Chain A
Amino acid sequence: MKRISVLLFLFMLAAVLFSDTAAAENGSISLIPQVDTVKKGMEFEVDIRADNMDNLYGLQIHLSFDKSQLEIVEFKPEFFGWKEDDKYWEYHRWDNNSGTFDMVFTCYGSDLFFSGSGKLGTIKFRVTGTAAQLKITENIRYKPDRACIGVDNEGRLSRYNVYQVTIHNDNIPPEIDNIEVINNSTIRIEFNEPLDEESALDLNNYIISPDLEVRSVHLDESKKNITLQTGPQVGNRLYELTILDIRDLIGNKNTVVKSFRGAMKLWLEAVDPIYNRNTGSVKLKAGPVENMTQLKFYIKYDDDYLKYEGIRFDSGSFNPQINTGQHPPHSQNPLYMYFYFMLNPVQKPVNRYDNWDVCEFDFLPQNTGSTMLEFMTDYRPPVADGQADGKPVTIVVEYSDEMIDILPSYHMTGFIKMVGQNDFYNVQAYLLGDDMKKLTLNVLQGSFELNYLIPGTYTVRLSKPGFLTMDYSIDVEGDTVEELHMIAGDLNDNLKIDITDIAIICKKFSTKKGEDGWDQRMDYNADGWIDIVDISIVARNYGIISNVTG
């Protein structure tokens, strides 16, 4: 049986080799590499695939490759997945000295042939050269029209197209195209080719000096761009980034070094809670920076909520130019007010190595609510200039806005109460604080009002001849109405009610208005007679000492 098969195969082979071929049919042969890119020394596989075969009985393929760049290591036939005991026979050979590969197969018997598409086998190559492109083609050196021909089950010949393949041979390690400083803690590194994920994401491969921590690394989808999160950078400081053992997808390894200048940070920060109609302060803060020579920025604010009142800065170091205006300029209904602030260090360039206050703005809130205090970005974003090696440079600035919450302020009404009378004409009322502020009294009602108070404890001092001068503490956590009871009896103004006060009023006992010795102060019940009622009012408060100190 085997002898018959060999004879049949030889017959078919002779027919294929020595017969004229028919016109090309629909069938084709494709070479499908399992990788797109290789490098020297690497082994890779190329599948040989037959498509659209029609009753294929026998086939021969002759392939060619650059012998200086590639060598064949192995060939694994598959033949459409047929089992070994199926009735077919195959033969293959390669010659790395000439760069050729030949393969032929045929069925035997009359009941086995193939229609459709399937894999014929896999060639394993090894890359031996460094040419950028490696081509595997049909071998047309001897008989161009017989590089790939087949025969069907009725002995008719067909010539098939062989689609050649080109494989990239990459032996160049990755290089940095560009470093972009995104902000004070982020840099973006653009490589010239996709990177191996493992080496790119290894934090230990990144060193930034002088001493800047690398906190995280991210590789984007293209695998060409790395984003590093760093510790806070010093603005305008020259950093050197070293990336160790970074590899491309094919494994070419490199250590790259690139410099960049750090970004500085600017941000706005409300000093304390801000209350409606109470001047509030917002600090412009900055991170460390070296050799900064100028800082320019615009800040937008909504004048429905904020009214700019002024600025404080270190006049010994800075000489700012400040302009306020509307935005958009000349708009009849401006959405925002803005001011332009240009800060020129008067003497040397600024060098700061900690967070620092550039200046402090005062605003008078006009309404309760939330409003954004923000750097202008669309019109003129913040710009910082600096020096590097005696030459001007632009410093990357990261800036962040501040949402200002304007909290409600409160109203307080104080009603003064006195035993026996409602004579408020001689009452003196002061709001204590850094300064004593005299309060305006409604002498008919004996009341005073304080508006736009922030939550807290307020002290009001009340005094009136014949009464004990006292400080009254009032807690304000909302709109507040408070009764303040004055204490009668301090007739000698010694801030306590003692026996001398009793003696003083007793001495006036039974004195009537208009008589000699009449003292209006002691007529507490305002009945025109200093009598036991007035004396008892003083006596009732005997022993009380004022809380006024100093």
Chain B
Amino acid sequence: MIILMLFMPLRYPAEQQSGPVVRLLAPDGYDMELMVENVTNLYAASVDLYYDPDKVNIERIETGDLFTGSKSPWMELVNNINADEGIASFAVSLMGDVQTIGGTGTLVKIYYRLVDKRKPKIRILDYRTADSSGSHEFSVVPTLVSGDIEFIPYRSRVQINN
């Protein structure tokens, strides 16, 4: 069964509908991959996670092949999991005035475990409005930055396979 949740598209202009798509894949219902499809001019990216530590335990976050496979130098600059507050932060960036990234690939891999066996409601939130306050079961906030140091708008999808 596939549950498809759409949050972002209505907020973008029509001409941006053809931009990149951020897709959250949870193929086994547990560990997740954050895919970025059809991106161009990607220079840096961050992923912030807001979650309920009583329901979810984030074990680690790994940089995906979108950066690891890049020929340009890159660096994972932030990789911090704060289980007490239920916040995890990840940031990766190319280094120097180098060729940016284009195409499709995995931005990050998120390894987590359920604490109470009940699957949390997973959402992708808008990077422009999301914050750590409020109630989050499991919210993912991706941010893409271009080589021109501008935010790259995207559409998002959450895909969970059971």
Contact = CB atoms under 8 A, between A and B. Distances in A.
Nearest to A536: B77
B143 A506 contact: no
Interface stretch (A253-261, A352-360, A422-430, A496-504): A496-504
Interface residues of A, number: 19
A499 B95 contact: no
A507 B75 contact: no
A503 B44 contact: yes
Interface in B119-150: 143, 145, 147, 149
Residue among B45, B78, B89, B151 with max Cβ neighbours from chain A (10 Å):
B78
B91 interface: yes
Contacts of B143: 498-499
A521 to B, nearest CB: 14
B43 A503 contact: yes
Nearest to B89: A543
Given A502-B77, A503-B149, A509 B46 contact: no
B93 interface: yes
A448 interface: no
Contact of B48 (A506, A507, A543): A543
A510 B149 CA distance: 17
Contact of A539 (B45, B48, B78, B147): B78
Interface string B43-73: 1111010000000000000000000000000
Given A503-B44, A535-B75, A509 B95 contact: yes
Contact of B46 (A502, A510, A535): A502
A497 to B, nearest CB: 10
B145 A500 contact: yes
A542 interface: yes
B39 interface: no
B78 A502 contact: yes
B48 to A, nearest CB: 7
Contacts of A498: 46, 143
A442 B87 CA distance: 40
Interface string A498-539: 111011101111100000010000000000000010011001
Nearest to B150: A500
Nearest to A545: B131
B42 to A, nearest CB: 10
Nearest to A542: B78
A350 B8 CA distance: 70
Contacts of B44: 499-500, 502-503, 506
A543 B48 CA distance: 9
Contact of A507 (B43, B46, B91): B43
Contacts of B46: 498-499, 502, 542
A506 B151 contact: no
B97 interface: yes
Interface string B96-115: 11000000000000000000
Given A499-B44, A500-B145, A500-B149, A506 B75 contact: yes
B151 A539 contact: no
B22 interface: no
Contacts of A543: 48, 78, 89
Given A499-B45, A499-B143, A506 B96 contact: yes
B94 interface: yes
Contacts of A499: 44-46, 91, 93, 143, 145
A308 B147 CA distance: 65
B146 to A, nearest CB: 8
A137 to B, nearest CB: 111
A135 B69 CA distance: 139
A380 to B, nearest CB: 66
A534 to B, nearest CB: 12
Contacts of B145: 499-500, 503
Nearest to B147: A507
A542 B91 contact: yes
A507 B78 contact: no
Contact of A502 (B48, B93, B97, B151): B93
B89 A506 contact: no
A510 to B, nearest CB: 6
A519 to B, nearest CB: 12
Contact of B149 (A507, A535, A536): A507
Contacts of B94: 506
A536 B78 CA distance: 9
Contacts of B89: 542-543
30 contacts: A492-B149, A498-B46, A498-B143, A499-B44, A499-B143, A500-B149, A500-B151, A502-B44, A502-B46, A502-B78, A503-B43, A503-B44, A503-B93, A503-B149, A504-B149, A506-B43, A506-B77, A506-B96, A507-B96, A507-B97, A509-B95, A509-B96, A510-B95, A539-B77, A539-B78, A542-B46, A542-B77, A542-B78, A542-B89, A542-B91
Given A506-B44, A506-B93, 13 more contacts: A499-B143, A500-B149, A502-B91, A503-B93, A503-B149, A504-B149, A506-B43, A506-B77, A506-B95, A508-B96, A510-B95, A535-B95, A543-B48
The 4 closest A-B pairs by CB, nearest first: A499-B46, A503-B44, A506-B93, A539-B77
